[in-house]
A and B are shown apart, each in its own frame.
Chain A
Amino acid sequence: MYLVAVCSCPVGIAHTYMAAANLKKAAQQKGIEIKVETQGAQGVEDEITDEDLKRCDGCIIASDVKIKNSSRFKDVPTMSFTVNEPIKDAEAVINELMEALG
């Protein structure tokens, strides 16, 4: 299982990175590989590449704003969340995607 995620928020200094940290932590605890792209005030970091897109099983968008380059994910099963959801409970977010993927 390989998941990708994009986190973003209006100001891009706090919630983006908190959500990213929580998704990584929850994935690690579940033994799932994840790559989390952050679109914040520091620009785009850990960008999801074409290679990631080919290999990934699903995508989590955790954002309160329109993310950059969202059309990348058109062929990937994608679920959208607010940026607060993984901050509150990242495991639940990952579980929801996993259940949808079946």
Chain B
Amino acid sequence: MQMADMIDERLVAFDLDAKNKEDAIQKVCRMMYDAGKVTDYEAYMTGVKNREKEFETGMGNGIAIPHCKNDCVKDAAFSLIKLKEPIEWGSLDGEPVDYVIMLAAPNSSDNVHLSMLSKLAVSLMDDDFRDSLKDATDVDQIINIFQSRKEE
């Protein structure tokens, strides 16, 4: 299994319109639900929001990684969402966020998928990976970026 295998086009967007953090979280949670990754929209969103309350997930460089591990998650998944306009998120570097990578993890011991989510998070610490991901304008480009990361 590779990270690229987990890319789901229904969870990729290049111009999501979000008024603020709350709105962005709602919309991406809805996408997770519509794609069948989570079975309970409200429960999942509450989980994501609770995690944000504990510690905001803006990791700097314009990227936020809201996430939650919950029984309502059916399949481990991540979103790759470029926002139309940057929004405030409460980031480590104080800068607004224009890219939302939401992670959904099931409450299982399915380490293969969990390790893919972790691998994605770790990849985001790499400047080149992060910059090319944010510059990508279609899914094929993203798949290429993920696959070239694998070969490192």
Contacts and interface: CB of A to CB of B under 8 A. Distances in A.
Partners in one complex: yes
Interface of A: 9-18, 20-22, 25, 40-43, 64, 82-84, 87-88
Interface size grouping (class) on chain B: 20 to 34
B54 A14 contact: no
A41 B125 contact: no
B121 A18 contact: yes
Contacts of B105: 11, 13, 41
Residues of A contacting B: mostly: mixed
Given A21-B122, A42-B111, A87 B92 contact: yes
B117 A14 contact: yes
A20 B115 CA distance: 14
Contacts of A14: 57, 65, 67, 103, 117-118, 121
Contacts of B117: 13-14
B59 interface: yes
A22 B127 CA distance: 12
A12 B69 CA distance: 9
Contacts of B55: 9-10, 15, 64, 82-84
Contacts of A11: 51, 67-69, 105
A22 B121 contact: no
Nearest to B106: A41
A13 B65 CA distance: 11
B124 interface: yes
B93 A13 contact: no
A25 B67 contact: no
Given A15-B57, A87-B125, 6 more contacts: A10-B55, A13-B114, A14-B57, A82-B55, A84-B55, A87-B92
Interface in B45-96: 51, 54-55, 57, 59-60, 65, 67-69, 92-93
Contacts of B115: 42
B83 to A, nearest CB: 19
B67 A84 contact: no
Nearest to A65: B54
